Structure 1
Amino acid sequence: MTTTQDKLDERYGRRRSPRARWVAGILIAVAAIAVGAYAWLTVASALDDVAAETTGFRVEDSRTVTLEFQLTVPAGRDVACVLEAQDEQHGVVGWRVVQFAASDDHTRAFSEAIPTVATATTGLVNSCWVT
């Protein structure tokens, strides 16, 4: 006894060729590999994320700004940051690269002095990365 679908396929010739099945299988495999690669890249980049938050600054004099900030870093990883001092027109008047040794603490607070070439009005953390 044949089913209705088999009768329709027989009548109208709707049968998948082996080649069509092979192409569909290849496309599904490629899509699965692409999704897996994207997921891995997303997770791998998130493992080394560093978050920096400026908590305050003090203009010590016309040649120095002290920046207070907090870093959230993966435990056990060294990190480096670019600290920046700016003037009223948001021009960079001082910057400094600082490196911090690894720690078991996930979040740490720091206070660093930035030398300037002119009077600064603000200080900030420009960027940080795992070293």
Structure 2
Amino acid sequence: MTTAQELDERYGRTRRRRAPWIIGGAIALLIIGAFSWMTVAQSMASVDADDLGFELVDEHSVNITFQVTGVQGKDVVCAVEALDEEFGVVGWKIVKIEAGDSHSQARSVTIPTVSEATTGLVNTCWVA
């Protein structure tokens, strides 16, 4: 046995010991990359809705104004609710917002209610 081989064996510099670390590192990078891509893909398809205000029209309807920020060029659907003093739902409506040229769109919708509402808000929005 030569001196170089003796030193390699003594200090653990063999190919067999490096291979598991290289394979493990590659697998870890693939897993991190997959999770990163899933996070980016999910955020690209997310929709954000902000309540801008509400106006009580009468005791059986409320007008809700809101802004939707999300995916440009895709239809968005929002569930809008009217609530009473105890935060019970007294009216709701599904609103479809057609795809537009801008990243953000403001909408106003009138919701019929079964009793007097004290507020109105957007419950959730999603890409259609």
* Length-normalised TM-score, structure 1: 0.86
Equivalent-residue separation in structure 2 for 1:16 and 1:90 (angstroms): 69
Measured in 2, the distance between the counterparts of 1:125 and 1:43 equals: 25
Aligned mate of 1:84, from 66, 81, 86: 81
Q: Which residue of 1 aligns with 2:68?
A: 71
The correspondence for 1:53, drawn from 50, 60, 63, is 50
CA distance in 2, matches of 1:16, 1:34: 28
The CA deviation at 1:128 is: 0.4
Q: Residue 14 of structure 1 corresponds to which residue in structure 2?
A: 11
The CA RMSD over aligned residues, in Å, is: 2.0
Q: What residue in structure 2 maps to residue 3 of structure 1?
A: none
Which 5+ residue runs of structure 2 have no aligned equivalent?
none
TM-score with structure 2 length normalisation? 0.88
Q: Helix, strand or coil: the match of 1:19?
A: helix
Identity score, percent: 43
* 1:75–1:11 distance in 2 versus 1, CA, 3 Å: closer
Q: Contact conserved, 2:8 with 2:14, CA < 8 A, in 1?
A: no
Q: Is the 8 A contact 2:67 2:107 kept in 1?
A: yes
Stretches (4+) displaced over 6 A: none
Q: Does structure 1 residue 93 correspond to structure 2 residue 73? A: no
Does structure 1 residue 102 correspond to structure 2 residue 99?
Answer: yes
Number of the residue aligned with 1:120: 117
- Supply the distance in 2 between the matched residues of 1:62 and 1:75 (Cα, whole angstroms): 36
Partner of residue 39, structure 2: 42
> Any unmatched runs of 5+ in structure 1?
1-5
Alpha-carbon distance in structure 2 between the residues aligned to 1:114 and 1:51 = 21
State the number of aligned residues: 125
